[in-house]
Structures are given as C-alpha cells and as structure tokens.
Structure 1
C-alpha cells in the first residue's frame, strides 16, 4: 500500500481534491488521483471523501492510501456477481447470494473488490438504471449466502429498523468439527474485533451481549463433523464463529478460530473446505409496512454442497 500525507498550503488552497493530490505526489497523474478518490482512498481531516471536485483549504490535511495494483492491467481480483446470484429484487430490496472471498464492504485496499461496485456493475449490464445501493448488513468475507442491499436510503432505514428490533430472522448453516448430538445455545459477552489480531474475544465485562441458538441438522460420526443450523438472536461481529469455537465445535475451514480442535479428514474433503463453511441460508423480513413477511433462501455454494456430497458418500 502507498500512503501519503499532505498538508494543504497556500499553493494548494482552493484546488480540487484530485488536483491537490496529483500536485503533491510525484508521478501521480490527475486521472489516477481522481480514480483513487472515487474508490475511497482519500481522507480530508480524517474523513473519507469520494468527491474528486471537492475544494480543499489551507490547513487541511489530506491522507491518501492506494494500492499500485489498481493501475496494473488485469491485476484486480477475478470475483464477480452473476444474474443468478440475485435471489430477490422487489420493493427496493435486493438480496444476493454472496460468494466466498468477496468482502461485503470496502476495505482500505481499493484493489480489493467488494459487493456494492460489483452489484452496481451487474445491474448496469442487466439494463437497470443507476441506484443508490446501500448495504443493510454484513457477512464476513469468506461467509457465503443471503446478503441484503437496499436501493435507496429510505428503504435502508426501514430495513435497519427491523434489524435493530430483531424482527428480521436470519438462519445460517455451518459445517463444524466434532459430533453434536443435541441442540444448544451460547450466550456470552463479546469484544470488538481486536485491531492487532483481527479476532473477537469472549470477555467477562466491557463487551456486548451475544446469543445464538444451534440445532443439529446431521452428524457424521465416522468423520467426526456435523452440519448445524445457527439462529443468531443478536448480530455481533464474528458471533457465530466465536460461539461455535467457544462450544468446542469451530467451523471447518475457519483459519482464525479453533486451530487446536481440528483432526484429520480425507484429502478430498479438506480440498472442498477452501474457506470457512458458514452459509447464510435464509432471511425472513417484512418488505413494506403493509406486506406479509417474506423468506428468501440461498442455495449452497459448490464448496459447501460438494463437501456434503462427499461426506454422504464416505
């Protein structure tokens, strides 16, 4: 990552943001500076600014972060969204079946694609007019399944209120280590994501309450793995992953939690677990004030379905 800090002087006073950046970073063209701003790599006085024409004033501080890969042909990730990934498109609501490896929202590395620009591109290719796409909630980068996007701010507020009131019901399926024989629930306090490790911790105080109910769908005693249904009551970061790890049944393929609780599996199963096998299987919500609740289900990705096929055959 390239990082630059610019203090706006008399010389830069009143310039467009992209012009001030290109003037201050040797070898960076105005066109590239605008691309960096458009993709969220510029901060004025610590606030992200995506408007290249914004004028800057003396004393402003501009921080710029960008990945050189942005300007290398063919170097962007090959992830994409396809028309069949759209599961629901009504009442100013879009639900997609998010693939593994795709971040829900922008990271600080603009060379890494995320949901909104890919969905915007897909909708344009499908002939839809430009929309003010708003991410309603998040899934971890390697979690697959149903993800909700609003097409305007009013619908975003309407759906966010349902999340806040816990009236939206989400169901996840997870393939986990160990044989689970009966339903169970995990309730605990969770920390925020730790900046030095990227992990969430179970804490006794100072965290936020969390609760998830788990039910066994199918156990595979010969493989010592289980398929479980996960119903989160709260919606904390990494909640299901941490709760399953806390219960001694971390998710297969999760590279962050449960390192000491894994055992040997046939090679073909390990190859299918190229990412954490956690899938947002369904979501139930009210699309408008006067409409009945709607439930949308997301088919398993091939990685998840392939693991189950192999497990059933062994």
Structure 2
C-alpha cells in the first residue's frame, strides 16, 4: 500500500484474495475505513484498476490486481448557516419548497464545502433544521444537479423527513421536468428504462448498465419540435430518482440535452443547420437544458395533496424562443 498521498491509496490484491468481493479485499487492507464507507466510495466512483472505474462492491478481484482508491477529505460534520437569497415557493412548520436556480449545489460535498442550498436553508429555517435526516444533509430528501433548476422540497422536522422519504421510495411523488434535447424523439411519447449505475469507463458519469446498477424509468412526451426538427422541448416524468436519470436516459436514446457537458455529444451537423441566432443561443447556453417544473406530494403531516409549478427560468425560455425562430 502506497500512502505517500493520504488521499490516494494503492492496493495490490494478494493471491489469497483471488475471487473475493472487492469491498472485502479493501476492508482487509484498510482496517481504518469501515466497510460501509468503502462501499460508498466504490459506488461514488473513487476506485479504479488499470484506468477503469470499479463501481460495484461485488466486483471479484484477481490475484495481483492493482487498485487505486481516491479518498476525498471528510466534509465538515455540521454545515454552517450562510444567508443567501432563496426563492421560497411554500413554507410551513413541516416543509419548505424552494425554486432552486441553476448553479447552486444542494448540499456540501468535497469540492463544494459551503455556499450550498443546505447552508442557505439552515440560515433561513434556523438551527432547528440541523440534524433532520442526518447531520451532513439536514432536511434533504431529494436532490437536483447543480446546473438543473427548479423545485425541491426539504423537511423541517424528523416526522416530515421520514414521511417524505417514504413517499419518494414508494414512487408517490410527482416530478415533471422540462428538457430541451437534440433531435425529436420517436415515438413522440413513451418510456425509457434501463438500470443506471456508475459508468465503468468514467467515474464522473452514470450509465445504463447491462449488469448491476439500479432500475430506472423515465416517461417522456415531446411537447414541441424546435429548429425544424433539430431539437425538441420534452416533458419528462420520473418514476424513479436515480442520479442523472433524465440526462442518462435521453442521451442513451440518442437525444442528449442541449448544453450537457457530461452526456452531450457533438451535434455539429444539427448545429450547422440552425440559423445564426439559434446557433449563437446554443453556443452561449452554459448548462444542461433541464428544469424541474412540477413537484407534487402529500403533505407529510396533514396528508393534503400539495402540487407546485415553476416557470421556465429566463435562460431556458430564451433558448427555446431562439430555437423556435431559426432564421
């Protein structure tokens, strides 16, 4: 084991470990890290072998195989309150619904230790929020990617947190997103499915996997064809909530989100077919074109139905308008 850099550890599997699960092999080599911690690091894409990401804790090792584990520095156990402007859509004693802008990270993590939505919620709701559902992600029951805008609900009590988590797990939450994609999906409405897990080739990406991963289902409907069929506005309804689910499913179907830096592919031909104004708008759009437009759930205390809608943010509305008028 090479621990010269405490954040990067190299482990060579001895012959006695051949055929063993990788999480067991790592646990034996690194007793200072719990097995649950090691599993979380593996699933987060922090383990590689010969340049390939190992994303499954059940992966079987080979004698003499060399693994590299990147261990990020621990995040502070308790996020601090940091006052920020919040677009509060609804709030009571149990829940708060906010309209998150693109560019805002939901909770602290390596690389984003503060200035997150969690820090802002603590400042807004007070210290009573601390510890709800866990110290590091107080109040959080679901997430949006940093550059995805739109509606998010957080819990303000343990009771509300437990009930909202149950509703998410039982697929009782209504979540509808607006996406602008390359091309027009055919058929114009349907269902995209496939297990999603960490990409074996790029630990920063998720992928549809033939083996492993977790089941994921996205229902979609084309709302408008744009730019003479070179793009489309698509409504996506989540039946599950996997990391990057809509982005992965649409990219796998050949219709990646415009502006997606991780899953978007070069669409030079379609871009050249756009008019100058639309072409300039696409080039200037600096995030994935995805917005959480509708959020519905039953109130975790009263049981009353709650449903909220968010208008398209200015940047996305301008992109759609430019693609609607291609000259």
Please report the TM-score for the alignment, with normalisation by the length of structure 2: 0.66
Whether contact under 8 Å (1:91, 1:287) holds in the other structure is no
CA distance in 1, matches of 2:154, 2:203: 29
Whether contact under 8 Å (1:190, 1:209) holds in the other structure is yes
Q: Alpha-carbon deviations, 1:87-137, whole Å to 9, x = none?
A: 11124111111111211121213555211102323x16xxx6753341110
Match of residue 106 from structure 1:
108
1:81 is displaced (CA, Å) by 4.3
Match of residue 321 from structure 2:
309
CA distance in 1, matches of 2:306, 2:113: 36
CA distance in 1, matches of 2:195, 2:283: 34
Match of residue 256 from structure 1:
262
Matches within 5 A, 1:4-43: none
Aligned match for 1:135, one of 127, 140, 153: 140
Whether contact under 8 Å (2:83, 2:119) holds in the other structure is no
Aligned match for 2:94, one of 71, 74, 92: 92
Is the alpha carbon distance of 1:196 and 1:178 closer, same or farther for their aligned partners in structure 2, counting shifts above 3 Å?
closer
CA distance in 2, matches of 1:209, 1:65: 31
Runs of 4+ in 1 over 6 A off after TM superposition: none
When structure 1 is superposed on structure 2, of 92-101 and 195-204 the one drifting more is 195-204
Q: Alpha-carbon deviations, 1:278-305, whole Å to 9, x = none?
A: 1111111001354321101122222111
Match of residue 203 from structure 1:
209
Matches within 5 A, 1:54-133: 65=73, 81-83=84-86, 85-121=87-123, 123=124, 130-132=128-130, 133=138
CA distance in 1, matches of 2:299, 2:148: 24
Please report the TM-score for the alignment, with normalisation by the length of structure 1: 0.69
Structure 1 position 300 matched with structure 2 position 326: no
Is the alpha carbon distance of 1:4 and 1:188 closer, same or farther for their aligned partners in structure 2, counting shifts above 3 Å?
closer
Whether contact under 8 Å (2:95, 2:156) holds in the other structure is yes
CA distance in 2, matches of 1:187, 1:229: 16
CA distance in 2, matches of 1:232, 1:107: 25
CA distance in 2, matches of 1:160, 1:195: 31
C-alpha RMSD over aligned residues: 2.9
Match of residue 172 from structure 1:
177
Whether contact under 8 Å (2:196, 2:213) holds in the other structure is yes
Match of residue 159 from structure 1:
164
CA distance in 2, matches of 1:142, 1:241: 12
Whether contact under 8 Å (1:140, 1:238) holds in the other structure is yes
Is the alpha carbon distance of 1:140 and 1:64 closer, same or farther for their aligned partners in structure 2, counting shifts above 3 Å?
closer
Q: Alpha-carbon deviations, 1:246-280, whole Å to 9, x = none?
A: 11110001011131445314343125521001111
SS in 1 for 2:194: strand
Whether contact under 8 Å (1:192, 1:237) holds in the other structure is no
Is the alpha carbon distance of 1:64 and 1:297 closer, same or farther for their aligned partners in structure 2, counting shifts above 3 Å?
closer
Structure 1 position 184 matched with structure 2 position 190: yes
SS in 2 for 1:300: coil
1:310 is displaced (CA, Å) by 2.2
Is the alpha carbon distance of 1:104 and 1:129 closer, same or farther for their aligned partners in structure 2, counting shifts above 3 Å?
closer
How many residue pairs get aligned? The number is: 243
CA distance in 1, matches of 2:233, 2:72: 45
Structure 1 position 148 matched with structure 2 position 153: yes
- In structure 2, the gaps of 5 or more residues are 8-31, 38-70, 76-81, 131-137
Whether contact under 8 Å (2:294, 2:307) holds in the other structure is yes
